[in-house]
């Protein structure tokens, strides 16, 4: 098999000070506000999900970031404070696998001081051990990824031989610790785990937890994405609705990523995330901060904007604020709206680095 090289971020360009941000609502070139911040706390993961960190690329020769290159908790917390000052009201810790970063509950504790909701996305493998400490530190909610209830399928997809039961234990421990309702994310790949769709819906019906089906996306450059592998969300809704009738529900808030559907029999709701077949770029309010302190305004970006150099050069909060505001104000991306088989071949930054 041809060796695929994961895209490494470019070295920072020489910098000029950003113009002063004069306050008022911060909007990009398409009028989108900045409301959410996703922070990748590590580019490492203990899984090798075939659609995200394929083992043949992320192998023992792969060069993960060095400790000195990644932002410290103090640096992350300081930047997060600046983001909140600019209007961010929701912060999600992600990665890589955020729970493999040591003492991540300490970071949660620092972020919990801010006037923002703090959430975390995890593969669930270490959640049972850490849920109580995360809750105590001030975490509001967790989202757990689980791609199948069929053990053989799940072990194959995570490519780390990790069993379903341990993830379920993580979900239940998190809920008992007060981190629920838990959102359970399932990436659906045709011919790989789509046989698990209805079973997954059944497992979470009536539990208060919300299963969300994610269309398989062309993130990064290493997963060999093909449109044929995508099961459109409409098909997911059709398959589940044929068994338990569903009706659409209004979004909880403007810009909500998942489209909501409710069971007519009152057994709760499901969500579908349709980045491929129903792009939601026009309502995207998300900024991403990579593990090493670069800003990305799109999950499918090819380049980011180095913030660490400025941060480590003794910049004031005002300077950081101006820089972040300028990056957002320049934002014009709308990748999912213009996706084609050709753009899917672009060298995009990896999701494990940028934060999912």
Piece of 214-222, 282-290, 296-304, 324-332 that binds ligand SAM (CB under 6 A): 214-222
β-pairing verdict for 294-296 and 286-289: antiparallel
Piece of 4-12, 23-31, 148-156, 348-356 that binds ligand SAM (CB under 6 A): 348-356
DSSP 75-116: HHHHHHHHHHHTT--EEEEESS-GGGSTTHHHHHHHHTTSSS
Query: Contacts with ligand SAM in 112-171 (CB under 6 A)?
Result: 121-123, 145
7 token code pair: 């895209």
DSSP letter at 7?
Answer: P
Residue from the set 162, 216, 328, 335 that interacts with ligand SAM by CB under 6 A: 216
295 interacts with ligand SAM by CB under 6 A: no
Residue from the set 28, 37, 51, 301 that interacts with ligand SAM by CB under 6 A: 51
| Residue nearest ligand SAM, CB atom distance | 356
β-pairing verdict for 294-296 and 183-188: unpaired
28 interacts with ligand SAM by CB under 6 A: no
Piece of 94-102, 238-246, 304-312, 341-349 that binds ligand SAM (CB under 6 A): 94-102
Nearer to ligand SAM, 58 or 83 (CB): 58
Min. distance of Cβ 77 from ligand SAM in angstroms?
Answer: 20
x/- map, 164-203, ligand SAM, by CB under 6 A: ---------------------x-x----------------
CB 112 within 8 A of CB 83: no
Residue from the set 192, 246, 272, 351 that interacts with ligand SAM by CB under 6 A: 351
Write the CA distances from 6 to 39, 56, 353, integer angstroms: 20, 11, 10
Nearer to ligand SAM, 82 or 258 (CB): 258
Smallest CA-to-CA distance from 36 within 135, 134, 117, 124 is with: 117
> How far is Cα 305 from Cα 163, in angstroms, rounded to an integer?
38
> How far is Cα 290 from Cα 339, in angstroms, rounded to an integer?
23
CB atoms within 10 A of CB 284: 26
Contact residues for ligand SAM, defined by CB under 6 A: 45, 51-52, 94-95, 97, 121-123, 145, 185, 187, 214, 216-217, 219, 223, 351-352, 356
């Amino acid at each position: 098999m041809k060796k695929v090289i994961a895209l490494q971020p470019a070295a920072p360009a020489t910098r000029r000070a950003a113009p002063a941000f004069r306050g008022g609502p911060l909007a990009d070139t398409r009028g989108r506000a900045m409301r959410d911040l996703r922070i990748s706390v590590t580019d490492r993961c203990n899984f090798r999900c075939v659609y995200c960190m394929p083992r043949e690329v992320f192998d023992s020769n792969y060069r993960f970031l060095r400790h000195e290159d990644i932002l410290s908790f103090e640096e992350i917390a300081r930047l997060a404070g600046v983001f909140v000052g600019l209007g961010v009201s929701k912060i999600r810790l992600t990665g890589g696998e955020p729970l493999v970063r040591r003492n991540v509950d300490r970071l949660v504790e620092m972020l919990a001081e801010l006037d923002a909701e703090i959430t975390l996305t995890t593969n669930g493998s270490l959640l049972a051990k850490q849920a109580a400490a995360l809750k105590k530190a001030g975490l509001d909610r967790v989202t757990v990824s689980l791609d199948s209830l069929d053990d053989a399928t799940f072990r194959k997809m995570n490519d780390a031989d990790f069993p379903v039961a341990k993830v379920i234990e993580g979900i239940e421990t998190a809920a008992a610790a007060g981190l629920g309702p838990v959102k359970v994310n399932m990436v659906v790949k045709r011919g790989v785990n789509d046989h698990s769709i209805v079973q997954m819906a059944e497992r979470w019906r009536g539990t208060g937890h919300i299963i969300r089906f994610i269309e398989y996306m062309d993130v990064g450059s290493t997963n060999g994405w093909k449109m044929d592998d995508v099961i459109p969300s409409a098909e997911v809704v059709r398959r589940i609705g044929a068994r338990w009738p569903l009706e659409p529900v209004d979004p909880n808030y403007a810009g909500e990523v998942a489209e909501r559907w409710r069971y007519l029999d009152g057994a709760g709701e499901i969500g579908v995330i349709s980045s491929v077949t129903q792009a939601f770029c026009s309502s995207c309010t998300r900024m991403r901060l990579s593990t090493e302190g670069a800003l990305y305004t799109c999950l499918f970006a090819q380049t980011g904007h180095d913030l660490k150099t400025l941060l480590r050069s003794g910049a004031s909060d005002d300077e950081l604020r101006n820089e972040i505001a300028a990056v957002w104000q320049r934002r014009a991306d709308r990748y999912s709206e213009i996706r084609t088989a050709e753009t899917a071949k672009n060298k995009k930054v990896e999701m494990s680095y940028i934060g999912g």
